[in-house]
């Protein structure tokens, strides 16, 4: 049953429900990361006979932080290599949060390493810090390049700060991050040439080479080779662009062997449209309908230069798509009752899930105005077919508005605490919704969302 702006009784369950099992991959990945850090500390311990005096303590701490910073670089690159096993189990946004936290730790360790080594060397040589810095940088092999890599890391850290990100486009931020590849290359040589734990230790050198070459292989395969292979195989192209709401369009695509793409409802791809002004960047957009062997669709709201330009795509435009990515799928479901909570154009992945999720499903779509209810006709048809409940909540006119609170959500969805909740919308709405859902008794592990913030 479908009603606009008012509550309805839950619909009947559709399809066979199978309780999803939580994947052990996230825990294993975290355990592996920490085990690697333990191995790095063991390398320092095995190569250190004694720590004597202030200079020894300072340089020892500098060696530890330097080793951990180098290891952190490898972990950061591996997390963003878009390995399907990690991406489909941990989740793209969760990997991004791990990457952001790891980035802050790695930059802090690199800064501590630099200051501690300079300070310890200055104490040992009884010289001032400025002259000792000049001596170290100019005298040690590859240290000048290592310094350049360190400064690139600091620049990336500054640009990654939230205040700085708000002032630049996604495309600019994305390409500036390629500087980290150069930074890692510059720092890697410095570690092997100057690191006391590597200079005379062939085993440590071999292990370090294996670590970074393995990460490089993952990056080359999943960031470059796989997208190129899929682009040539699937030969995607634009069929039509249709308006859905003010500032919102659906881009319809066709191609070859799309049944082998493996895209699931709730997932997204990074789309590169090979036309003037768009070919140089790939932006993430969710599928707004279940993938068809010969047809794909995305629905996009104009929020920037790239998304606005999609309304002017011409039929026949070639497209390269990287993915599918994300774990915002039916696998996250833990029970038979599901609430899909969308804000604005966040309806796109939820519309695909609404059609395909088994069990008892309720959909809430929140927008500012009635005209902003994109894909409403399709949603109504799906709801009628599966006899599901749909609630449209708009801010204007005020009589159809409803606050995003625990009480309001509980009034719309009986037994809300027993539901899995799939949540997609703007960052502010998402944060408010999570607080309301937790206040309504929904366990945190039953709230599923992926963020596309950069």
- What does the alpha-carbon distance between residue 132 and residue 289 come to, in Å, rounded to a whole number? 62
- What does the alpha-carbon distance between residue 296 and residue 287 come to, in Å, rounded to a whole number? 7
- What does the alpha-carbon distance between residue 224 and residue 3 come to, in Å, rounded to a whole number? 47
Q: What is the pLDDT of residue 109?
A: 94
Higher-confidence position of 178 and 275: 275
- List strand residue ranges (DSSP E) for 314-359, in order: 318-325, 337-343
Range from 21-25, 156-160, 298-302 that averages highest in pLDDT: 298-302
- What does the alpha-carbon distance between residue 77 and residue 81 come to, in Å, rounded to a whole number? 6
Residue 13 has pLDDT above 50, yes or no: no
Distance of CA 444 to the CA centre of its chain: 19
Q: What is the pLDDT of residue 189?
A: 82
Q: What is the DSSP secondary-structure string of 271-300?
A: EEE-STTTTT--EEEEBSS--BTTBEEEEE
Q: For residue 452, what pLDDT band results from cuts at 50, 70 and 90?
A: low
* pLDDT tens-digit series, residues 22-45: 778 889 999 999 999 999 999 888
Q: What is the pLDDT of residue 6?
A: 45
Q: What is the pLDDT of residue 149?
A: 85
Range from 226-230, 278-282, 333-337, 360-364 that averages highest in pLDDT: 360-364
- What does the alpha-carbon distance between residue 308 and residue 251 come to, in Å, rounded to a whole number? 12
Q: What is the pLDDT of residue 378?
A: 94
Percent of the chain with pLDDT strictly greater than 70: 90
Q: What is the pLDDT of residue 198?
A: 86
For residue 368, give the nearest of 398, 399, 395 by alpha carbon.
395
Q: For residue 72, what pLDDT band results from cuts at 50, 70 and 90?
A: very high
Say if CB 91 and CB 424 are below 8 A apart: no
What is the pLDDT of the chain when averaged over all its residues? Answer: 86
For residue 410, give the nearest of 422, 400, 419 by alpha carbon.
419
Q: What is the DSSP secondary-structure string of 102-147?
A: HHHHHHHHHHHHHHHHHHHHHHHHT--HHHHHHHHHHHSTTHHHHH
Residues 6+ apart with CB under 8 A from 391: 3, 5, 6, 7, 8, 362, 363, 364, 365, 412
Residues 6+ apart with CB under 8 A from 41: 64, 67, 68
Residue 303 has pLDDT above 90, yes or no: no
Q: For residue 8, what pLDDT band results from cuts at 50, 70 and 90?
A: very low
Residue 321 has pLDDT above 80, yes or no: yes
Q: 449 φ, ψ to 5°?
A: -155, 155
For residue 300, give both structure tokens: 């996009």
Average pLDDT on 154-174 reads 72
Say if CB 263 and CB 356 are below 8 A apart: no
Instruction: Give the count of alpha carbons within 13 A of 101, CB side only.
Output: 7
> Which three-class secondary structure state does DSSP give residue 91?
coil
Helix 143-160 to helix 129-139 angle (10° resolution) is 110
Q: Which domains does the chain have, with CATH numbers?
A: 25-230 (1.20.120), 235-325 (2.40.30.10), 333-449 (3.40.50.80)
Among 47-51, 216-220, 343-347, 445-449, the minimum mean pLDDT is found in 47-51
Q: What is the pLDDT of residue 398?
A: 63
Residue 161 has pLDDT above 60, yes or no: yes
Residue 18 has pLDDT above 80, yes or no: no
Average pLDDT on 429-454 reads 86
Instruction: Specify the pairing of strand 248-254 against strand 296-301.
Output: antiparallel
Give the single-character DSSP code of 345: G
* pLDDT tens-digit series, residues 56-69: 899 899 999 999 99
Q: What is the pLDDT of residue 424?
A: 92
- What does the alpha-carbon distance between residue 348 and residue 266 come to, in Å, rounded to a whole number? 8
For residue 92, give both structure tokens: 């793209």
CA angle 207, 208, 211 (to 5 degrees): 85
- What does the alpha-carbon distance between residue 366 and residue 6 come to, in Å, rounded to a whole number? 12
Q: What is the pLDDT of residue 342?
A: 93
* pLDDT tens-digit series, residues 356-399: 998 899 999 999 989 899 999 999 999 999 999 999 998 877 66
- What does the alpha-carbon distance between residue 203 and residue 198 come to, in Å, rounded to a whole number? 8
Instruction: Specify the pairing of strand 420-424 against strand 337-343.
Output: parallel
């Amino acid at each position: 049953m479908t009603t606009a702006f008012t509550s309805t009784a839950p619909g009947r369950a559709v399809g066979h429900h199978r309780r999803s099992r939580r994947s052990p991959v996230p825990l294993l990945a975290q355990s592996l990361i920490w085990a690697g850090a333990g191995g790095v500390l063991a390398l320092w311990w095995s190569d250190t006979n004694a720590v004597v005096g202030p200079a020894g303590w300072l340089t020892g701490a500098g060696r530890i932080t330097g080793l951990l910073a180098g290891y952190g670089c490898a972990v950061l690159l591996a997390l963003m290599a878009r390995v399907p096993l990690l991406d489909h189990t941990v989740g793209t946004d969760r990997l991004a949060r791990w990457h952001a936290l790891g980035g802050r730790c790695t930059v802090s360790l690199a800064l501590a390493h630099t200051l501690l080594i300079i300070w310890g060397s200055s104490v040992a040589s009884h010289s001032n810090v400025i002259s000792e810095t000049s001596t170290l940088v100019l005298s040690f092999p590859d240290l000048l390049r290592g310094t350049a890599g360190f400064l690139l890391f600091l620049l990336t850290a500054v640009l990654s700060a939230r205040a700085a990100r708000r002032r630049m486009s996604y495309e600019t931020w994305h390409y500036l991050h390629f500087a980290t590849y150069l930074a890692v290359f510059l720092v890697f040589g410095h570690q092997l040439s100057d690191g006391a734990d590597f200079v005379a230790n062939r085993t440590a050198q071999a292990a370090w080479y294996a670590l970074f070459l393995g990460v490089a292989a993952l990056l080359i395969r999943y960031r470059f080779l796989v997208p190129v292979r899929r682009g040539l195989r699937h030969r995607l192209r634009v069929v039509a662009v249709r308006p859905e709401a003010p500032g919102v369009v659906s881009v319809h695509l066709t191609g070859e062997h799309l049944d082998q793409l493996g895209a699931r409802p709730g997932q997204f791809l990074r789309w590169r449209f090979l036309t003037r002004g768009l070919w140089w960047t790939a932006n993430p957009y969710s599928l707004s309908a279940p993938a068809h062997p010969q047809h794909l669709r995305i629905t996009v709201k104009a929020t920037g230069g790239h998304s606005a330009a999609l309304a002017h795509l011409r039929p026949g435009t070639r497209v390269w798509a990287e993915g599918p990515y994300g774990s915002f799928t039916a696998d996250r479901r833990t029970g038979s009752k599901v609430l899909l909570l969308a804000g604005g154009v966040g309806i796109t992945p939820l519309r695909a899930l609404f059609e395909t999720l088994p069990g008892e499903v309720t959909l809430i779509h929140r927008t500012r105005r009635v005209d902003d209810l994109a894909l409403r006709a399709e949603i109504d048809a799906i709801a009628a077919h599966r006899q599901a409940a749909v609630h449209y909540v708009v801010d204007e006119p005020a009589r159809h508005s409803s606050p995003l609170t625990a009480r309001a959500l509980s009034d719309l969805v009986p037994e809300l605490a027993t539901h899995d909740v799939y949540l997609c919308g703007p960052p502010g709405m998402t944060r408010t919704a999570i607080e309301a859902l937790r206040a309504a008794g929904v366990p945190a592990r039953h709230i599923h969302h992926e963020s596309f913030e950069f």
